[in-house]
Amino acid sequence: MAFFDTVFSSPRLPRLPALRPLDRFKTVMDTPFDARARTIRARIAHLRACDDAELAARGLSRADIVRHVLMTSRR
């Protein structure tokens, strides 16, 4: 299984208004892998938003965030 961490990628371009109606089809074509990947990305983003004191209270360092999320995510 591969997980792509996009923290270092360039910011996304703004969505074109003409493409917004197509967003509803994401859930129709969604697979369990897509849902799990979205959950993992959200957990990583949440932990990266925490400051160092909050991470230390959880027993984590910034370098361990991705590993921690992947090791504790439910399959």
Does residue 39 lie in a domain region? Answer: yes
User: Whole-number mean pLDDT of the chain?
Assistant: 79
Whether pTM exceeds 0.85: no
Closest CA to 63 of 46, 47, 41: 47
Q: What is the pLDDT of residues 36-50, one digit of tens each?
A: 999 999 999 999 999
- 40: domain range? 29-72
> Looking at the 3D structure of the chain, how many domains does it have?
1
Q: State the helix-helix crossing angle for 65-72 and 32-49, rounded to 10 degrees.
A: 140
pLDDT at site 31? 86
Does residue 23 lie in a domain region? Answer: no
Alpha-carbon gap, residue 3 to 15, rounded angstroms? 24
Q: What is the pLDDT of residues 20-30, one digit of tens each?
A: 666 666 667 77
Does residue 9 lie in a domain region? Answer: no
Does residue 40 lie in a domain region? Answer: yes
Residue 10 pLDDT > 50: no
Scan for tokens 């003409």, then name that residue.
Answer: 18
Does residue 48 lie in a domain region? Answer: yes
Does residue 55 lie in a domain region? Answer: yes
In this prediction, residues 6-34 reach a mean pLDDT of 63
Does residue 57 lie in a domain region? Answer: yes
